[in-house]
Structure formats: C-alpha cells, structure tokens
C-alpha cells in the first residue's frame, strides 16, 4: 500500500486538518500520479458540510479537479508514462458495460458513476479519497492527458467547472451566430463565458450584480444583462438561443425561460437545494426547452482539454497553500473568489 498525506474533513463541523491514509498499489491498468494542484469546487464544501444528501462519509479528503505528474504506470497502461502530466476529474470509475459507458458518457452510467471522493471505490469497502492529497492511483480510463503549454494550476478547474460548462454548450450546438446567455458569474459561469465566446457565439452575462459587468467583458462577454432590472429583462425577452444556467442558489426558472427565442434551450448545470418552479405557459411559448447536464464523459473531457490547449483557455485562479483551505471555504461562501481557488499540493 501507499501511505498518502492529505487534508481531510473528519466530521461536518470541524475545520479540515492533516490526515494520512493508504492508497492501493497500482494495478496493471492504474496510473499513480503525484498531485501538483487541486481545484476547490463548491461541491467540496457541500459534501464536507454534509449539505446534499446527509450521507457524507468521513474522514473525507475532498477534491476532484486534480492535476499532477505520473510517478508510475501499470503494465497495461498505454496512454501514460512516468513524468507525463496527467489529470483526474469528478469520476474514477463506472460499470463500463452499460449503453452510456459504451458511448464514453460514463457520467450517465446506468448503475451510477463512482465519484472521486465521498463514496467507496467500486466494488470495495475502501473510501475513495480525493485530490487534497499528495498522490492518487486511478484507472487509466479515467485519467486525462494535459498539455505542457498551459499553467497546470489554472488547468485544474477545467476538470469540473470546465467540462460542466463545455459539455452543455456543445450539446446545444453553440457556435458562430448563436446568442448565448450565461446566468451567474462564478466558477462555472466564468468558464461558460470563455467557452461560449471561443465557440464564436454572441455572449451575454446575466447577473444580479452590476459590478460583474467589467469582469464579464474581460472574460469575453459582449453584453451584460442586469436581471434585477425589469426594463432590461423586457428588452431581452425571447432573445437567446441558448441560456446556460449556472445558479446554485434557489430560484424559479420562469424569469430566464422568458428570455428564450423560438426553440431556445436553457441548459441547467446548477443544483439548487429547493426544486425550482417552471411555468408551462412560458415553456409552450416559443417551444422552449430545459435540459439538464452533468459534467462530461471521458471522451468529451479529453476533447475539452485538447480544445483548451489549442485555444489557450484556462480558469482564472487564486492559488493557495493547503493550510488556507478552511479560510478559502469561508471566502467561497461569501462569493469572494475570482473565480476558483486551487491548492498547491507541494505545501502539504
């Protein structure tokens, strides 16, 4: 076994602190990765604090935006060799036999994908532990190649915030001429603006916060729509072809639905804790659509990383030492981050 240093939550109340645990020895199809950087996702906080399903497993090493360097590979591994850069995202396994798995859309695995942490390694009683740690052992199928051209700290958030926005924009066929509205400018929203703009779309950032206009434009947005201003909202009535809704706070869908043009699509990636209401009258007008989207599969995640290397796209990050993770959580709650914290694991 491999003894691994980490930062963990020991229960839902206390601050995270140092922790040591054992990882499996790499099997024939495994890649053993020294973790360089790990992004801090809002879902880390939700799970650490047991806010989602009441089933959080402790001790919990969070982190599913992982970038590192390959230490060793199993005998059957083809894509990686020692010294390569490598990345691990939100999932580390799936059934590999169902229809979605065959299509490399493992996030929709019929049996359910295996998350990177806060679950058990598939078919075992070993707690899967995430990326706030020195190293990780993952089956090659769920490990991605990343380019040396990009800043590895800024690549880390692509593994969750990146793919979660890239996938629905591709699914909605966003491209040149598409009018895209991105609702919310946080970790997800800022990547949504970057991707939609890079695909050639006309991008509008939709926000309740006037001060975000400048940043939205810097990130590539062409317009800014203040959603608390009824006059502006009326101006954009039936305007957009696609709306990427990244809001995790409780809200109703109707307000944004009404901004959709004929056959417009609202892509939902935010997960409010209370179910939103939706107006059937707003839905049938313009034959509007609401579609949910969950991260991306292994093929699309690699495609997204390759696209980012080609287009020089990374997240806007603030790199922190692991000792500052509890403070970072507090700042995330206050929305005080532009736009993703990333832990530098050499501080461990």
Binding site for a second copy (CB under 8 A): 99-100, 105, 108, 110, 171, 238, 252-254, 262, 268-272, 275-294
The distance of closest approach from Cβ of residue 279 to a second copy in the complex, given in angstroms and rounded to an integer, is: 5
Closer to a second copy at the Cβ: 208 or 279? Answer: 279
* 287 vs 238: CA distance, rounded Å: 11
Asked whether 138 and 121 are in contact (CB, 8 A), the reply is no
Phi, psi of 22 (to 5 degrees): -115, 135
Closer to a second copy at the Cβ: 61 or 259? Answer: 259
Closer to a second copy at the Cβ: 295 or 343? Answer: 295
Q: Counting Cβ atoms within 10 Å, is residue 176 exposed (0-12), middle (13-18) or buried (19+)? A: exposed
CB proximity list for 259: less than 8 A, separation 6 or greater: 181, 206, 233, 236, 237, 238, 239, 240, 243
Query: Which has the closest alpha carbon to 21: 36, 6, 31?
Result: 6
Residue with tokens 């859309």: 105
Closer to a second copy at the Cβ: 83 or 280? Answer: 280
The distance of closest approach from Cβ of residue 104 to a second copy in the complex, given in angstroms and rounded to an integer, is: 13
The distance of closest approach from Cβ of residue 156 to a second copy in the complex, given in angstroms and rounded to an integer, is: 22
Closer to a second copy at the Cβ: 14 or 52? Answer: 52
The distance of closest approach from Cβ of residue 177 to a second copy in the complex, given in angstroms and rounded to an integer, is: 14
Residue with tokens 């919310």: 184
The distance of closest approach from Cβ of residue 101 to a second copy in the complex, given in angstroms and rounded to an integer, is: 11
Closer to a second copy at the Cβ: 194 or 265? Answer: 265
Instruction: Go through the chain and tell me how many residues it has.
Output: 348
Asked whether 115 and 128 are in contact (CB, 8 A), the reply is yes
Record the tokens describing residue 90, joined without a space: 């939100």
The distance of closest approach from Cβ of residue 13 to a second copy in the complex, given in angstroms and rounded to an integer, is: 25
The distance of closest approach from Cβ of residue 286 to a second copy in the complex, given in angstroms and rounded to an integer, is: 6
The distance of closest approach from Cβ of residue 222 to a second copy in the complex, given in angstroms and rounded to an integer, is: 22
Record the tokens describing residue 13, joined without a space: 């109340």
The distance of closest approach from Cβ of residue 123 to a second copy in the complex, given in angstroms and rounded to an integer, is: 22
DSSP string, 9-46: BSSSSSPPEEEEEEEPPP-TTEEEEEEEEEEE-HHHHH
Closer to a second copy at the Cβ: 118 or 133? Answer: 118
Closer to a second copy at the Cβ: 84 or 252? Answer: 252
* 333 vs 347: CA distance, rounded Å: 24
Closer to a second copy at the Cβ: 198 or 248? Answer: 248
First vs last C-alpha separation in the chain: 20
**Residue 218, H or E segment:** helix 213-219
Strand partners, 4: 21
Asked whether 10 and 59 are in contact (CB, 8 A), the reply is yes
């Amino acid at each position: 076994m491999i003894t691994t240093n980490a930062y963990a939550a020991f229960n839902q109340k206390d601050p995270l602190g140092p922790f040591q645990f054992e990882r499996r020895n790499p099997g024939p199809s495994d890649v053993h990765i020294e973790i360089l950087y790990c992004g801090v996702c809002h879902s880390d906080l939700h799970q650490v604090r047991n806010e989602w399903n009441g089933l959080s497993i402790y001790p919990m090493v969070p982190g599913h935006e992982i970038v590192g360097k390959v230490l060793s590979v199993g005998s059957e591994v083809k894509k990686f060799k020692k010294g390569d850069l490598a990345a691990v995202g939100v999932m580390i396994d799936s059934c590999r036999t169902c229809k979605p798995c065959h299509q490399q859309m493992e996030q929709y695995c019929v049996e359910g994908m295996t998350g990177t942490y806060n679950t058990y390694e598939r078919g075992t009683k070993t707690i899967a532990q995430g990326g706030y740690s020195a190293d990780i052992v993952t089956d090659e199928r769920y490990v991605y190649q990343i380019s040396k051209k990009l800043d590895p700290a800024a690549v880390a958030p692509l593994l969750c915030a990146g793919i979660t926005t890239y996938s629905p924009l591709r699914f909605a066929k966003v491209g040149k001429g598409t009018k895209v509205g991105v609702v919310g400018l946080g970790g997800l929203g800022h990547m949504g603006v970057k991707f939609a703009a890079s695909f050639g779309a006309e991008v509008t950032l939709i926000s309740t916060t006037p001060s975000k206009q400048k940043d939205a434009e810097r990130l590539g947005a062409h317009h800014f729509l203040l959603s608390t201003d009824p006059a502006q909202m009326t101006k954009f009535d039936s305007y957009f072809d696609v709306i990427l809704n990244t809001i995790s706070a409780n809200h109703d869908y109707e307000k944004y639905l009404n901004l959709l043009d004929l056959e417009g699509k609202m892509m939902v990636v935010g997960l409010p804790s209370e179910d939103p209401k939706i107006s059937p009258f707003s839905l049938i007008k313009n034959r509007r659509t609401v579609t949910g989207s969950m991260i991306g599969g292994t093929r699309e995640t690699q495609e997204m990383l390759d696209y980012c290397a080609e287009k020089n796209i990374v997240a806007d990050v603030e790199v922190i030492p692991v000792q500052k993770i509890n403070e970072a959580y507090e700042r995330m709650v206050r929305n005080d981050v532009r736009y993703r914290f990333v832990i530098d694991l050499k501080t461990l």
